[in-house]
Amino acid sequence: MENLRRTGRPLKSDGRGGRRIVRHKKAHRKQTLAEITNCANDIIIQPVSPRLVRHGLRFCGFTRFKIRKQTVTSRVNRAHREFEFRCRQKLSWKAGDWKSVAFSVETQVVIGGDRSLGYVWRKPHKVWQLGCLVGGNSRKISAM
């Protein structure tokens, strides 16, 4: 009998431990890597390093991004905008009629605002997921 050839060192954590870390991270997206590692060491039998946790999260597609502010539009304003845009008068317009309309982009500029919103662990395509945003009116994150 011979041992099978291995290309590297055996994994420190099994698949179940990695899934537990990812599940914990999804529930607590705003934690730092050190906090996630401490919680992982409580969950997993064999202790792991922050480097291993970061590698495992990146392997699953999670990266640390800056938190984006959530834009807030009330239901009344959304309904009003949809009604204005889908007005019956504009349904019959031709391409030439739209040349007389001026379109604008609404934006909000805050001077002297707090720029340190924090970071969140997320996948690149999950930018506008509710757990990855901070409220539009709030300036600080309650707990990281």
When comparing pLDDT for 122 and 44, which is higher? 122
Classify residue 36 by burial, with Cβ atoms within 10 Å: 0-12, 13-18, 19+: buried
Distance CA 139, CA 110 (A): 11
pLDDT digits (tens, 9 = 90+) for 93-143: 888 888 887 777 777 666 766 666 688 888 888 887 777 777 654 333 334
- pLDDT for the residue numbered 65: 86
pLDDT digits (tens, 9 = 90+) for 62-93: 888 888 877 777 778 777 777 766 666 677 78
In this structure, what is the dihedral angle of CA atoms 39, 68, 51, 31, given to the nearest 10 degrees?
A: -20
> Encoding tokens for residue 28?
């607590």
> Encoding tokens for residue 38?
């401490």
Provide the terminal-to-terminal Cα distance of the chain, rounded to the nearest Å: 54
What pTM did the predictor assign? 0.52
- pLDDT for the residue numbered 137: 44
Residue with the two structure tokens 């011979």: 2
Reduce the DSSP state of residue 48 to 3 states and report it. Answer: coil
Q: What are phi and psi of 64, to 5 degrees?
A: -90, 120
Q: Amino acid identity, residue 124?
A: P
